[in-house]
Structure 1
């Protein structure tokens, strides 16, 4: 330790008078070291790691040749490292990655960070990431649904002693305003044995916060920084709070970024590698959720997009809407890169807020308003920056079931006007998807994409309307237009009897998906009931 570094540390400690308020903890620096014996303590034979970035979410500094850094602590911000590729970080006492320190810690080790050597794996091995948006429990009952519907199937999908993924992301609304549920949610998530990172959502705010700067105090105590970066050999992840809290206003929040966040993002991107995928994870989508309504501040979006334009491979991940869709940004939304910018608006783990009719296991149906089943996404990232996405419905953690649902009438009159149809909800579809159907093994015919409510959700709404009592804790949500729905008319000039409907969809990442249903034609004469 240099003389100047030691002197500054002693002076800072001497000024910390017990019982007196202080602007910041007495911890201006520390060391990032290779924790060879994994005991969480810096031993004499454990070298420092040079070139590791350390930040408080505003400023970024790098460790020197001995692994040391200096960064004046701020009393209201966690201090963290940008986990470098090729390393792991130990788990904190709650099981989440220990890549950050709370600002009220004191002592010589308060600014030290341990790194573990990553497990050996082939250089070209893809990174498997599990992505969840909006698990959003409102009670311990919902936490139990999360455990049985999402966590336990993921555990069952991996072999004994194996983790079901390399990395996990939760894109906000970790709970539904009841922040006392954080420990229970953390306890369930860490059962997966996956390094799991969290983004804040609009339901993660401190209810009594006077302004935006104070709105994530509880979130930070449990999950660490609200704006940070994490790196692997395959990708760089930039995760940040994009909920601007506006107490007393209507609406009380809007999507956007603070000036201190821009300061961190600009500093990070200036030194970020451009030969791998750059993934941005937020809660509020970057696109406008409704025409004519600025749900993410356009000025902030344009400023952020300008910072991203030098990067060849960028993927945006967002949540919040409890629907699922793909958006391709272009000049109309402020993106001027060489190719459209992909935003995947991830469906909700809780689906329709853990509502709907319960199944035999007592878990609500929770289908979202656009017809997407609740669940989570799997993302595989190659070393070259290519990625593949899949939506895995709850209790289908391996993705073996079809990536679509069908709705068709069960019976039609033979010879009737062919005005009835089969509908295919292709969960990961978009405007460029090719969806076809055929009847009884005939020729494949293109289906027509329609932006309207999924009839399966409409049928549930009607059943809820007709019921004399609630069929679940809450009824299913009102059906909203789906961005991934296709329609094909059913012929009625075939022979009486049952006819098989087959649908195939070309998924841009998984290849061909197939599903089937059936309908029956019956004879009816005019005037005969």
Structure 2
């Protein structure tokens, strides 16, 4: 019996190890063309964490490993992709015995340097009837808004929870939006996941079937949009946590390596990264794990060279957090309100969606309550027993100003406090009237009050947002 010498053993390992590496991957290539079949240079193409950029002829070549599902492009500025029932087709599924994947783009006829984004989240319908309500309440409202931006490049974002744990309803969700003439890019939510699998990697399959990859990017004007999956299924029942895995971090690092530092970045996730400016000590319980992104600090480090707006959903509340002057998080209220049980969310925010108006690197935003015009930015209550007025200003952030006037005389700034919205308390406290007994009103910090009010006085609440827009609400005698 012969034994291999150490040097011969190393040679075998090297040779066969190399063969395993070669056979564990393949190379694919293709072109990115415009509508006249001219190659487009500089387009980033990715397959998992492997990326390449098209050359001057629009050609790319990239390595594919065995478990990758898609080859996809980061749609370049000034270009569009084809759309199927609001679904942008920026990807192709990798199939056996095929090595060429070409992409055909359309030149955008509108200048996307200035563009408008409609952001909805948590449609979370659990029946066909609820999708009918969604179509009537939200989709119709968006359709009424669109003519105001007829000359703007406009698209939508859905931040996830499109269904309520019922993947068989994805076709209903898609059909309910079919009247919208704009594309919607989508983020997976925890209620869109495939539960009961053995690992996180099994949880994306329903989303993949209808919308493609869960991690991707695209460009509009001077803005770079990044969509990530931060719903980490832990492989037990329906449990998950807010977490970004290493593969996603590596993908994001490479994606950002193609993005100049003067670009504006929008990061789209379902679960918020952090809901307060100050980082709190980590608490190991399910509410903490499932409510925010536990490793958000690593994400912030990757974004530190960019002016970034993080937009999230999940909470069924509305909140704006200024992490620092170049990092802003918008946690967006639910399109379904309180799971279609009331037309407000648990913090009193009306069901609706957010609108972002992007002009180069400048961004303005507002919350659009369904059934109201854009000036509807607060709800004001008078409590005759305590001689107090309370204002719920759902899109407030620290640069807003909240004042009150009595009989035309300015009395000062209203006091901010944390509490329960009076209407939310009224509608959501009686469990007998609700479909789900776990629904409760939520405490919120976007409440303001003024005390010692004469019940016969005419009271005006005047709010000035960070962009100088003024909103008023008057309570008459």
Provide TM-score, normalisation by structure 1.
Answer: 0.78
Contact 1:352 1:476 (8 Å CA) reproduced? no
Residues 197, 236 of structure 2: 8 Å contact kept: no
Deviation digits for residues 10-55 of structure 1 (CA, Å, limit 9, x no counterpart)? xxxxxxxxxxxx988x88222111123xxxxxxxxx2221221111
Unaligned 5+ segments in structure 2 are 1-22
For the Cα contact (< 8 Å) 2:369–2:376, is it kept in 1? no
Q: Match for residue 444 of structure 2?
A: 482
Q: Match for residue 512 of structure 1?
A: 470
Provide the secondary structure at the position in 2 that maps to 1:70: strand
Q: Distance in 2 between matches of 1:165 and 1:514?
A: 31
Instruction: Work out the CA distance in 2 between the residues paired with 1:461 and 1:159.
Output: 35
Aligned partner of 1:308 in structure 2 is 303
Q: Distance in 1 between matches of 2:195 and 2:367?
A: 33
Q: Does 1:348 align with 2:325?
A: no
Write the distance in 2 (CA, Å) between the matches of 1:108 and 1:510: 54
Shift in alpha-carbon separation, 1:160–1:344, aligned structure 2, 3 A: closer
Alignment counterpart, residue 218 of structure 1, candidates 201, 206, 215: 206
Residue by residue over 1:445-480, the C-alpha shift from the partner in whole angstroms, topping out at 9 and shown as x without a partner, is 211001111122222245x36xxx63x655894222
Larger deviation: 135-144 or 68-77?
Answer: 68-77
1: CA distance, partners of 2:326 / 2:32: 39
Residues in 2 aligned to 1:202 and 1:119: alpha-carbon distance in whole angstroms: 36
1:386 counterpart = 2:386: no
Number of equivalences: 445
Which structure 2 residues correspond to residues 43-442 of structure 1 after superposition, within 5 A?
A: 46-73=37-64, 74-92=66-84, 94-104=85-95, 111-121=101-111, 126-159=114-147, 162=150, 166-248=154-236, 252-287=239-274, 292-293=282-283, 294-295=288-289, 296=292, 298=294, 300-311=295-306, 313-329=307-323, 339=325, 341-356=327-342, 365=343, 367-383=344-360, 385-396=361-372, 398-399=373-374, 401-409=375-383, 419-442=386-409
Structure 1 unaligned residues grouped into runs of 5+: 1-21, 37-45, 331-338, 357-364, 413-418, 520-529
> 1:57·1:228 contact (CA, 8 Å) conserved in 2?
no
State the alpha-carbon separation in 2 of the partners of residues 292 and 500 from structure 1.
Answer: 47
Moved more, 313-322 or 431-440: 431-440
Q: Partners of 1:160 and 1:389 in 2: how far apart?
A: 15
Relative to the length of structure 2, the TM-score reads 0.86
**Aligned Cα root-mean-square deviation (Å):** 2.7
Q: Distance in 2 between matches of 1:120 and 1:138?
A: 37
Cα deviation, residue 202, structure 1 = 0.6
1:43 aligns with none
Distance between the aligned counterparts of 2:316 and 2:468, measured in 1?
23
- Tell whether the 8 Å contact from 1:355 to 1:475 is kept in structure 2 after alignment: no
CA contact (8 A) 1:78 1:220 kept: no
Call closer, same or farther: CA 1:148–1:57 in 2, change over 3 Å. Answer: farther
> What is the alpha-carbon distance in structure 2 between the residues aligned to residue 499 and residue 95 of structure 1?
50
